[in-house]
A and B are shown apart, each in its own frame.
Chain A
Amino acid sequence: MSTGIKLAVEVSSERTQNCRTLAARSCAVQLVDDVKNCSALLTDDIEIAESAVDEGTSVLVLNPFGLSDDICQRIKTSKSCMPAHIRRFKPSILEVKRALDAGRLGHAGLLRIHCWNPDADNTEIFTGEVDLAAWMFGRVPNDIYALDRPGYRQVHLGFEGGGMAIIDFDSANPGDNEYYSLSLIGSSGAAYADDHHNANLLMDNNGTKTLLTSQQDAGFAAMIDHFARSVRDAEEFSTTWCDTIQAKTIAGQVARSAEQQIVVAGESNV
C-alpha cells in the first residue's frame, strides 16, 4: 500500500475547509496541519508558494491566471510547482480529452464552448476556458477575433491545420443561472459535454423547472489527486507554467482584438 504524501493546505480562510475536505479524498494524500512539516502544499498565495518551492516542497498553486507575467516567467522552470488549471480536471472535460488523446475522435477540428456564468468574466474562468482550447488543439491559435457586448464576450480562434474554436462567455444572465456546454468535433468522431443533456425535471406548485445535475467539486478533487500522485510517484505534472503563460498570452490577445475590433495574429510568449 502506498503512503500518502504529507499535504498542507494554506489558502484563504473561507476556502480552507473545502480544500481540506477535497484533498482528504485522495488516497495519495496524508493531510497535515503544519506547513513546516509537509512535503507538498496547496496554496493560493504565491509568496508562500515560492518560499515553499525554495525549501524543496512541491506546491499546487491556485488561481494561476491572475498572477503577473513576471511571476509566471520566474516560476516556470520549477519542476516542483504546478499551476492549478482546474477546468482541465472537470470530469466531463477529462473524458473528452481522453477520447481525443486515444485517437477515437481523429484530428480535432472544431471546439465549441458556451460558458454562461455570473462570474464568466473572472480571470480564472475566462483564461481557463481559453487554456482549454489551446490544450485541446495542442497549440496556440494563429488567428484571434473577439466580439464584446455588455456582460458578454465571444472568442473566435483559428488554428494551424484548419482547427477552429468559438467560445462565448456570458455573465449577464439574470439570477444565479449557470450553463456550460463543450463540444469537440474531430475528423472521425465527436464528443458532447453539455448541461442540456444532463438536465432533470422538477414539477411543483410553480410549474416545471429544469434541474441541472452538477459535477460539483469533482474536478477540484481530481486535480489535487493528480498533483499528489505525481509528487508521490515523482512524475511530471500534466500542467505547466508554460501552459499558464500561453493561456494568459492568448487572453491578452483576445482582449486586444475585442478592444480594437480587429483580427489579431496569435503568437506564443513561452
Chain B
Amino acid sequence: MSKKQFKALVLSVVKHSYVALAVDSHPQFDLVAVCDDPHEPDWVHERNQEFADRFEIPYIRDLDQAVKDYDPDLAVVSSQAERHCDLSVRAAAAGLHVIVDKPLSTKLSECDRLVQAVKTSGVRCLVWNRNFLPALCQATQALKNGAIGDLRAIHCDFYFSKDAGPRKGTREPGYPPINWLQRQIEAHADGSDGGVGVVAMGELQIEGIYPLAYIRMLAGSSVKRVFARTAAHFHQANADNDVDDLATVTLEMETGVAGSLCIGRIGAASHPDIGEIKLHLLGTEGALVVSESRPEIAVHYRGQPANEFRHIRVADDNNYLLMENFAHAIEHGTDTILDAQGGRDICATVDACVRSGKTGQLETVS
C-alpha cells in the first residue's frame, strides 16, 4: 500500500534552503509552490523566485491565494527569523501543518502565539533540529538502555568554526557600525547568514536551539534557571550590534540534572572541520562522551583548499528521520520530536541566557 503524499507550500525561503530541500527529498512530500507576502523587500522576492525556478514550481506573492490554489497540507517556513512565528501562525490558522526553521523567533511572545495557534488549529508543528543525527540516536539509545543509569549531568560544546565577516577590532575609526541585515544579506554567498533578518541575534539565539534541543531530549527535562557569560569575542558585526558570538551557560534543569553549554562562532581557523561539537553525559552507572560528527571519514590531498573540511560526515539520516517523524505525527496525531512548545521552551531558555549574560546574575526561565 502506498503511503499518503503531502503537498508542501514553501512559505518564504530566504535564509538557507536546507529545510525545503530536506522536505523535498522525502518520498512522502512534494513541494507545490513558493509563496510570501507582497510587501517584502526585493531581495526576499529574488531568493524566493530563484528557489521556485530551481524546482520549476510557481512563486505566489499572496499566502491566501497560494493556499486556495494549491490546497497544501503543510507550510515550510524559512524566512527572516523575526517572521518565523508570524508566518507559522498564519499557516496554522489556514489549517496547514508547519515546519519552521530555527531560530523559532527573536521574541518569546511570538513563540507563545505560535504555541496557541497550533493548539487551536490542531495541526502538527516541527521546529527544525538535529536530534536525529547518528551520534544523537546512539546517545539516546544508550540512555534508554540504561547504559549509564540515571542521568546526573549533561554538557554540550557547540562551536561553529565559521567566520562571520570582519574580525572584531578591524573597523577603522570614523566608519559606521556594521548594519546587521546588510551583513546577513551579503553573507548568503558563504552560508554564514544564519541570523538573517532585521533584528540582530547572537550565537545563542541563532544556533542555541541545536544543543539545547539535544539537552532537552537527552535529559527529558526543561531548564529552570541559568547563569551565563556572553561576549562578542570574534566578529565586528556582533560587537557593533551588541550580540554574542561566544557564551558559556550553566543550566539548572527541572529534574535536578546539572547542565552546561559552551557555544560560539569561533572562526574558520579554529578547527579543521565545522567545529568541535560534543556531548558529555554523567549517569549514576557510567558516563558517555559523544562526538556529534561521527560517523565521518577523512580526506586529505595535495593542494587541498585551506577552508575545505578534512572530515566528511557520512550516513547522516537526520533530514530523512525528521521528515519520517513529521509524517508520522500528521498521520497519527502524535507529537513531533521538537514541537512548538518545545521550541518555545528553548527560546525561553535562550532569552534567560541573554539576560543573564547582561546582568551577570542567575535568571529564571519563564
Contacts and interface: CB of A to CB of B under 8 A. Distances in A.
B248 A110 contact: yes
Interface in A149-193: 149, 151-152, 154, 156-158, 162-166, 168, 170, 172-174, 177, 179, 181, 183, 185-190, 192
A112 B284 CA distance: 23
Interface string B258-282: 1010101011011100001010101
B157 A164 contact: no
Contacts of B250: 145, 147, 154, 156, 166
B152 interface: yes
Interface string B222-251: 000001010111100000000000111010
Contacts of A162: 229, 231-233, 246
A187 B159 CA distance: 13
A3 B291 CA distance: 49
Contacts of A112: 157, 248, 262
A36 interface: no
A196 interface: yes
**Chain A interface SS verdict (over half):** strand
Contacts of A177: 286-287
Given A109-B264, A190-B270, A172 B360 contact: no
B246 A149 contact: no
B285 interface: yes
Given A152-B258, A172-B152, A196-B291, A109 B362 contact: no
A253 to B, nearest CB: 14
A149 B262 CA distance: 20
A263 interface: yes
A156 B227 contact: yes
Nearest to A163: B231
A156 B258 CA distance: 12
A250 to B, nearest CB: 15
Given A145-B227, A177-B287, A188 B260 contact: no
A179 B269 contact: no
* Residue in B229, B234, B266 whose Cβ sees the most chain A Cβ within 10 Å: B229
B168 A179 contact: no
A116 interface: yes
B335 to A, nearest CB: 30
Contacts of A262: 362
Contact of B168 (A151, A157, A170, A187): A187
Given A110-B264, A170-B153, A183-B157, A154 B258 contact: yes
B291 A263 contact: no
A192 B280 CA distance: 15
B250 to A, nearest CB: 5
B278 A196 contact: yes
A193 to B, nearest CB: 12
Contacts of B289: 179, 181, 196
A232 interface: no
Contacts of B161: 190
A109 B233 contact: yes
Interface residues of A, number: 40
B153 A154 contact: yes
B159 A147 contact: no
Interface in B280-329: 280, 282, 284-287, 289, 291
A43 B278 CA distance: 40
A165 to B, nearest CB: 7
A189 B267 CA distance: 8
B153 A152 contact: yes
A149 to B, nearest CB: 5
Interface in B327-366: 360-362
A40 B287 CA distance: 43
B155 interface: yes
B193 interface: no
Contacts of B82: none
B272 to A, nearest CB: 11
Contacts of B229: 143, 156-158, 162, 164
Contact of A170 (B227, B246, B282, B361): B282
A166 B231 contact: no
B248 A156 contact: yes
A181 B258 CA distance: 18
B264 A189 contact: no
A25 B76 CA distance: 66
A129 to B, nearest CB: 15
Given A156-B227, A183-B157, A164 B270 contact: no
Nearest to A141: B229
A149 B287 contact: no
Contacts of B271: 190
Interface in A78-108: 107
Nearest to B286: A174
B143 to A, nearest CB: 16
A162 B231 CA distance: 5
B268 to A, nearest CB: 11
A53 to B, nearest CB: 40
A147 B154 CA distance: 13
A114 B287 CA distance: 12
B73 interface: no
A36 to B, nearest CB: 49
Given A185-B270, A263-B361, A173 B153 contact: no
Kindly list the 9 A-B residue pairs having the minimum CB-CB distance in the complex, ordered from nearest: A162-B231, A164-B229, A190-B270, A158-B229, A109-B233, A164-B248, A145-B227, A156-B250, A166-B248
